Protein backbone atom coordinates (compact mmCIF):
# COMPACT_ATOMS: atom_id res chain seq x y z
CA UNK A 1 0.00 0.00 0.00
CA UNK A 2 1.29 3.41 -0.88
CA UNK A 3 0.94 6.19 1.64
CA UNK A 4 -2.67 6.87 0.87
CA UNK A 5 -5.79 6.94 2.89
CA UNK A 6 -8.59 9.29 3.48
CA UNK A 7 -11.03 10.99 5.67
CA UNK A 8 -13.79 12.78 4.11
CA UNK A 9 -16.91 10.82 3.66
CA UNK A 10 -19.38 12.37 1.28
CA UNK A 11 -22.05 12.50 3.93
CA UNK A 12 -21.91 12.06 7.64
CA UNK A 13 -24.62 11.94 10.30
CA UNK A 14 -24.07 11.39 13.98
CA UNK A 15 -26.96 10.17 16.15
CA UNK A 16 -26.65 9.56 19.85
CA UNK A 17 -28.51 9.56 23.12
CA UNK A 18 -26.15 10.10 26.00
CA UNK A 19 -23.15 7.95 25.04
CA UNK A 20 -24.93 5.27 22.99
CA UNK A 21 -25.67 5.59 19.30
CA UNK A 22 -24.36 5.22 15.81
CA UNK A 23 -22.38 7.10 13.19
CA UNK A 24 -23.11 6.76 9.47
CA UNK A 25 -20.52 7.52 6.81
CA UNK A 26 -20.86 7.27 3.04
CA UNK A 27 -17.84 6.12 1.04
CA UNK A 28 -17.10 5.97 -2.68
CA UNK A 29 -16.04 2.45 -3.64
CA UNK A 30 -12.58 1.93 -5.04
CA UNK A 31 -10.76 4.88 -3.43
CA UNK A 32 -8.80 5.21 -0.19
CA UNK A 33 -10.05 6.87 2.96
CA UNK A 34 -8.26 7.42 6.25
CA UNK A 35 -10.79 6.90 9.00
CA UNK A 36 -11.15 5.89 12.63
CA UNK A 37 -13.69 3.89 14.57
CA UNK A 38 -15.77 6.52 16.47
CA UNK A 39 -17.59 4.14 18.82
CA UNK A 40 -16.79 1.18 21.06
CA UNK A 41 -18.86 -1.98 20.55
CA UNK A 42 -17.00 -4.07 23.13
CA UNK A 43 -14.68 -6.04 20.85
CA UNK A 44 -14.26 -3.63 17.91
CA UNK A 45 -13.46 -6.43 15.49
CA UNK A 46 -13.32 -5.33 11.87
CA UNK A 47 -16.27 -7.55 10.95
CA UNK A 48 -18.43 -5.54 13.36
CA UNK A 49 -16.84 -2.14 12.75
CA UNK A 50 -17.38 -2.45 8.98
CA UNK A 51 -20.65 -4.36 8.53
CA UNK A 52 -21.06 -2.91 5.01
CA UNK A 53 -17.85 -4.56 3.73
CA UNK A 54 -18.14 -6.27 0.36
CA UNK A 55 -15.79 -8.31 -1.79
CA UNK A 56 -12.57 -6.38 -2.39
CA UNK A 57 -12.75 -4.21 0.74
CA UNK A 58 -9.38 -3.65 2.41
CA UNK A 59 -8.22 -2.25 5.75
CA UNK A 60 -4.68 -1.35 6.74
CA UNK A 61 -3.50 -0.32 10.19
CA UNK A 62 -0.18 1.44 10.62
CA UNK A 63 2.51 -0.31 12.67
CA UNK A 64 4.25 2.54 14.49
CA UNK A 65 7.02 0.19 15.67
CA UNK A 66 7.91 -1.45 12.38
CA UNK A 67 6.76 1.39 10.14
CA UNK A 68 4.68 -0.87 7.90
CA UNK A 69 1.03 -1.85 7.71
CA UNK A 70 -1.09 -4.64 9.14
CA UNK A 71 -3.76 -5.53 6.61
CA UNK A 72 -7.10 -7.32 6.46
CA UNK A 73 -9.04 -8.02 3.28
CA UNK A 74 -12.66 -8.97 2.73
CA UNK A 75 -13.56 -11.59 0.15
CA UNK A 76 -16.31 -14.08 -0.56
CA UNK A 77 -15.19 -16.12 2.47
CA UNK A 78 -15.23 -13.10 4.77
CA UNK A 79 -12.32 -11.26 6.39
CA UNK A 80 -8.82 -12.66 5.99
CA UNK A 81 -8.23 -11.77 9.65
CA UNK A 82 -10.75 -10.30 12.09
CA UNK A 83 -8.43 -7.69 13.56
CA UNK A 84 -9.52 -5.28 16.29
CA UNK A 85 -9.82 -1.55 15.53
CA UNK A 86 -10.61 0.27 18.79
CA UNK A 87 -11.56 3.96 19.03
CA UNK A 88 -8.52 6.22 18.90
CA UNK A 89 -6.84 4.17 16.15
CA UNK A 90 -6.81 5.44 12.58
CA UNK A 91 -6.72 3.15 9.56
CA UNK A 92 -6.79 3.14 5.80
CA UNK A 93 -10.00 1.90 4.22
CA UNK A 94 -11.05 1.11 0.67
CA UNK A 95 -14.45 -0.39 -0.04
CA UNK A 96 -14.79 -2.98 -2.77
CA UNK A 97 -17.64 -3.06 -5.24
CA UNK A 98 -18.23 -1.23 -8.50
CA UNK A 99 -15.85 1.74 -8.67
CA UNK A 100 -17.57 5.06 -8.19
CA UNK A 101 -20.67 3.65 -6.51
CA UNK A 102 -21.42 4.42 -2.86
CA UNK A 103 -21.39 2.36 0.31
CA UNK A 104 -22.93 3.50 3.60
CA UNK A 105 -21.31 2.07 6.71
CA UNK A 106 -22.91 2.33 10.14
CA UNK A 107 -20.67 2.31 13.21
CA UNK A 108 -22.54 1.13 16.33
CA UNK A 109 -21.61 1.33 20.00
CA UNK A 110 -20.81 3.59 22.91
CA UNK A 111 -18.55 6.59 23.26
CA UNK A 112 -15.50 4.94 24.81
CA UNK A 113 -15.12 7.73 27.41
CA UNK A 114 -17.86 7.85 30.03
CA UNK A 115 -19.80 11.05 30.65
CA UNK A 116 -17.82 13.37 32.91
CA UNK A 117 -14.60 11.41 32.42
CA UNK A 118 -11.35 11.89 30.51
CA UNK A 119 -9.73 9.43 28.11
CA UNK A 120 -6.08 9.29 27.11
CA UNK A 121 -4.57 8.32 23.76
CA UNK A 122 -0.77 8.06 23.90
CA UNK A 123 1.12 9.80 21.11
CA UNK A 124 4.13 7.55 20.55
CA UNK A 125 7.48 8.90 19.31
CA UNK A 126 7.60 9.10 15.52
CA UNK A 127 4.63 8.50 13.25
CA UNK A 128 1.35 7.13 14.54
CA UNK A 129 -2.09 6.84 12.94
CA UNK A 130 -4.80 8.10 15.28
CA UNK A 131 -8.41 9.16 15.63
CA UNK A 132 -10.47 10.97 18.24
CA UNK A 133 -11.35 8.87 21.31
CA UNK A 134 -14.54 10.93 21.53
CA UNK A 135 -16.47 11.61 18.29
CA UNK A 136 -15.71 15.32 18.14
CA UNK A 137 -15.43 17.45 14.99
CA UNK A 138 -13.42 20.58 15.67
CA UNK A 139 -10.10 22.39 15.46
CA UNK A 140 -7.21 20.62 17.17
CA UNK A 141 -6.70 23.74 19.29
CA UNK A 142 -10.14 23.64 20.92
CA UNK A 143 -9.30 22.53 24.46
CA UNK A 144 -12.88 21.58 25.32
CA UNK A 145 -13.25 19.15 22.42
CA UNK A 146 -10.38 17.74 20.32
CA UNK A 147 -7.77 19.18 22.72
CA UNK A 148 -4.72 18.14 20.69
CA UNK A 149 -3.19 21.62 20.61
CA UNK A 150 -1.74 21.64 24.15
CA UNK A 151 0.38 18.59 23.35
CA UNK A 152 1.81 19.78 20.03
CA UNK A 153 5.46 20.82 20.24
CA UNK A 154 8.06 22.31 17.94
CA UNK A 155 8.86 19.92 15.11
CA UNK A 156 5.62 17.94 15.35
CA UNK A 157 3.25 17.62 12.41
CA UNK A 158 -0.20 16.40 11.41
CA UNK A 159 -0.98 14.75 8.08
CA UNK A 160 -4.55 14.51 6.89
CA UNK A 161 -5.86 12.91 3.74
CA UNK A 162 -7.26 14.68 0.70
CA UNK A 163 -9.77 12.12 -0.56
CA UNK A 164 -10.35 13.95 -3.85
CA UNK A 165 -6.71 14.05 -4.89
CA UNK A 166 -5.72 10.91 -2.95
CA UNK A 167 -2.75 12.57 -1.30
CA UNK A 168 -1.64 13.88 2.08
CA UNK A 169 -2.00 17.44 3.33
CA UNK A 170 0.65 18.36 5.91
CA UNK A 171 0.40 20.75 8.84
CA UNK A 172 3.71 21.58 10.52
CA UNK A 173 4.20 23.12 13.96
CA UNK A 174 7.22 25.29 14.82
CA UNK A 175 8.35 27.89 17.32
CA UNK A 176 5.92 30.38 15.77
CA UNK A 177 2.99 27.98 15.83
CA UNK A 178 1.26 26.27 12.92
CA UNK A 179 2.96 27.00 9.58
CA UNK A 180 1.14 29.72 7.68
CA UNK A 181 -1.30 30.06 10.56
CA UNK A 182 -3.28 27.11 9.19
CA UNK A 183 -4.61 24.99 12.05
CA UNK A 184 -5.85 21.47 11.20
CA UNK A 185 -9.36 20.35 12.08
CA UNK A 186 -10.48 16.80 12.75
CA UNK A 187 -13.85 15.28 11.96
CA UNK A 188 -15.94 12.51 13.46
CA UNK A 189 -14.52 9.22 12.24
CA UNK A 190 -11.44 10.82 10.69
CA UNK A 191 -8.03 9.24 10.90
CA UNK A 192 -4.81 11.26 10.76
CA UNK A 193 -1.08 10.80 11.05
CA UNK A 194 0.71 12.55 13.89
CA UNK A 195 4.50 12.80 13.81
CA UNK A 196 5.73 13.21 17.38
CA UNK A 197 9.34 14.38 17.44
CA UNK A 198 9.52 14.05 21.22
CA UNK A 199 9.03 11.44 23.92
CA UNK A 200 5.67 9.70 24.25
CA UNK A 201 3.00 12.06 25.55
CA UNK A 202 -0.67 11.81 26.50
CA UNK A 203 -3.46 13.23 24.38
CA UNK A 204 -6.45 13.67 26.67
CA UNK A 205 -10.07 14.30 25.74
CA UNK A 206 -12.98 14.89 28.12
CA UNK A 207 -16.66 14.09 27.66
CA UNK A 208 -18.45 16.74 29.75
CA UNK A 209 -21.11 15.82 32.27
CA UNK A 210 -24.59 16.55 30.93
Q: pLDDT tens digits for 12-25?
A: 555 443 467 899 99
Tell me the DSSP string of 85-108. --TTBEEEEE--SSTT-EEEEEEE
Give whole-number Cα distances, 176 to 60, 100, 110, 199, in Å.
35, 42, 39, 21
For the whole model, what pTM was predicted? Answer: 0.89
Q: pLDDT tens digits for 183-196?
A: 999 999 999 999 99
Q: pLDDT tens digits for 77-123?
A: 999 999 999 999 999 999 999 999 999 999 999 999 999 999 999 99
Q: pLDDT tens digits for 134-149?
A: 999 999 999 999 999 9
Check pLDDT > 70 for residue 161.
Answer: yes
Check pLDDT > 90 for residue 8.
Answer: no
The rounded distance, in Å, linking the Cα atoms of 3 and 11 is 24
Enumerate the domain spans of the chain.
Answer: 12-110, 118-206
Report residue 210's pLDDT band, with 50, 70 and 90 as the boundaries.
low
Q: pLDDT tens digits for 63-88?
A: 999 899 999 999 999 999 999 999 99
Amino acid sequence: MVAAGALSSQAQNVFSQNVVGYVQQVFTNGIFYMVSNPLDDGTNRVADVLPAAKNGTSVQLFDSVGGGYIGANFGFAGWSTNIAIPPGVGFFLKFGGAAGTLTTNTFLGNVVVAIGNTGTNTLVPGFGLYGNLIPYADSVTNTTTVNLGPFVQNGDSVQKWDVVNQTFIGYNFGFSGWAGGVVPTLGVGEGFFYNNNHAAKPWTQTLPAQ
